Amino acid sequence: MTHYAGLDVSQKETTICVVDEQGRRLWRGTAPTDPEALTEILRQHGCDLHVGVETGPLMPWLVHGLRRNGLEVICLDARHAKAALAMQFNKNDRDDAEGLLRSCARAGIL
């Protein structure tokens, strides 16, 4: 079964939201902003996992590390993600991770 993860990346910590194919939230949590730590946690929540992340200064390093570890990662342009997230009622890291994920799904990216 395919699962989808949205990442809201910060300097030290990344917020993660994982949903199934029907969009049901399976898990929300955090991990250190490090490709190895993120890969370990993401692998606990699905073998066939698609990951969506917003572009930013850490993205080249983080995305290449996640891809090197075998994860499928899609990058969202920060301007598009900002516009989508601005419509959210509750603005926080946990909701941003889920909002990024749902924006990818609506756009057919994930």
pLDDT one-digit tens code per residue, 45-88? 877 898 988 888 888 999 999 999 999 998 877 665 554 445 55
The helix (H) or strand (E) run that includes residue 13 is strand 13-19
Give the chain's domain count. Answer: 1
Q: Is 11 within 8 Å of 34 (Cβ atoms)?
A: no
Q: The pTM is what? A: 0.74
Q: Name the residue with tokens 């955090």.
A: 30
Q: What is the CATH number of the domain that holds 33?
A: 3.30.420.40
Q: Which domain holds residue 55?
A: 2-107
Nearest to 45 by CA among 105, 3, 100, 96: 3
Question: What is the C-alpha to C-alpha distance for residues 65 and 12, in angstroms, rounded to an integer?
Answer: 16
pLDDT digits (tens, 9 = 90+) for 22-33: 888 899 999 999
* Residue 93: per-residue pLDDT: 55
Q: Which structure tokens are listed for 106?
A: 């609506």
